Amino acid sequence: MTNQALSLPMLASEKLQADQRIQQAKELLASALRDHSQSINEIRPPNPALVDRYQDSLKRLAAARGGAPYFPYITSGLGNGPFVELGDGSVKLDFIVGIGVHGMGHSHPAMLDATIDAGLEDTVMQGNLQHNSGSLEMCERLIGLANQSGAKLDHCLLSTSGAMANENSLKIAFHNRFPASRVICMDNCFAGRSLALAQLTDRPAYRAGLPKTLDVDFIPMFHPADPEGTTRGAIETLQKLLARHPGEYACLWLELVAGEGGYYPGTTHYFEEICKICHEHNVLVIFDEVQTFSRLSQPFAFQHFGLEKYADIVTLGKITQVCATLYGDSLKPKGPVLSQTFTGATASIRCGLAVLDELQAKECFGAKGWNMRRHQYFKAKLEALEKKHPGKITGPHGEGMMIAFTPGNGGAEEAKNMLSRLYDLGLMGFLAGSNPNRIRFLPPPGVTTEAHIDLAVEIIEKALVS
């Protein structure tokens, strides 16, 4: 609450924010953005006059970053909802949004407004010696959301990447359960790109040539084709591991919907069974919500699956623009093991708060909220394609605003070819999983409409038959 609202003397910063010129400038900028972004409202091919310059930019980008980006994609810096203009004048329907980051799509007015507010603050970055009011607001907001249905996550540590949020979660767990030093993960999981997280991630190629930093063991992931068998397999493997290494496990680290692993949601029963065993063995439970946060029926996937009592540590990122590690007071480290120069950019933190406001205002959450309704809509359309083109496309189809399908036989080449056909036709998704390889979508929850989904499905059908 501002000092003015509390009848306290106004700070100079509050006078600046209340200055009429700021409001007028904001209105002017918002109307210019609206006028120019509204023309970006459909998929378009490249403008031939811009192709050479664009190709040159792509070449320079590849040289500078040491390799071509996955897609020949450099934006012009302007978009409209899920539509984005590229530097060659083409327009794509962006259903992957930087792998789940741009929850309000491209060029959203609320993001501009929050960025202007951030630009008026004194520093570009915030960190452990630089907390502006936005940091406090973000921490309190995330703690409030996390605890709204009974979890007990008292503290929040902001960070600049999902990987750092997960690193912090492991530090908290190891520190608290010292000398236990092993971790249990689920098959097919992805935790991030640090040296430690490369061990948690079930992709040997991602740790090729890297030294072993942690002892990690894996349990089977829930699979919808064999719910009982995979649940039983996970329980048995977990029990064997706990018996083989008594007292050595500090934590179980889990994604509740395997993201990079192929969009396999688990079930409440599966998660309860394994979390319960872990708690009985004094093993902490970490839920990684870096990809799931804000995409299911509740802000947190652990709330969607009703796992509040098992949430010892929770990480999140992407859509919140700034990442975070939430943990209970009993796990507060007793030594200085957690600290960072940067916790986030001032603009990231302000925009993250605006995203949370928008998602709530747009009624994304709830069993009948827009995340679940759009999921049903998209899923029904993909199922219709499955019936119409047998063998060319199959489910499962993920959960909430995490949607995936398997093209053809699920081979790696087939999925890559399909992804590039979709891109050429104007729809952006990405790969997920292996054996089968899938195409995944992370549509921006704040702005995706049924008309956008219809357009995406139209393109998927074209790509299937082309």
Ligand X SMILES: Cc1ncc(COP(=O)(O)O)c(C=O)c1O
Which residues are near ligand X by CB under 6 A? 99, 161-163, 166, 190-192, 255, 259-260, 288, 290-291, 317
Least CB distance from residue 400 to ligand X, whole Å?
Answer: 14
- Name residue 297's amino acid: S
- Residue 37: closest CA among 29, 26, 48, 46: 29
Q: Between 426 and 444, whose beta carbon lies closer to ligand X?
A: 444
Tokens of 153: 């996550």
Which residue has the closest beta carbon to ligand X? 162
Least CB distance from residue 196 to ligand X, whole Å?
Answer: 12
Q: Residues 165, 180: contact at Cβ < 8 Å? A: no
Q: Between 200 and 242, whose beta carbon lies closer to ligand X?
A: 200
Q: Between 67 and 390, whose beta carbon lies closer to ligand X?
A: 67
Least CB distance from residue 431 to ligand X, whole Å?
Answer: 12
CA distances in angstroms from 205 to 188, 197, 201, 208, 439, listed in the order given: 13, 13, 10, 5, 20
Least CB distance from residue 165 to ligand X, whole Å?
Answer: 7
Q: Between 381 and 438, whose beta carbon lies closer to ligand X?
A: 438
- Residue 98: closest CA among 71, 66, 58: 71
Concatenating the DSSP letter of every residue in 42-76 gives S-BPPPHHHHHHHHHHHHHHHHHHTS--SSS--EE
Q: Where are the beta strands (DSSP E) in 170-306?
A: 182-186, 215-219, 249-255, 257-258, 264-265, 284-289
- Name residue 259's amino acid: G
Least CB distance from residue 291 to ligand X, whole Å?
Answer: 4
Least CB distance from residue 341 to ligand X, whole Å?
Answer: 17
Q: Between 198 and 460, whose beta carbon lies closer to ligand X?
A: 198
Least CB distance from residue 99 to ligand X, whole Å?
Answer: 5
Q: Between 90 and 348, whose beta carbon lies closer to ligand X?
A: 348
Q: Between 104 and 191, whose beta carbon lies closer to ligand X?
A: 191
- Residue 379: closest CA among 353, 403, 361, 358: 403
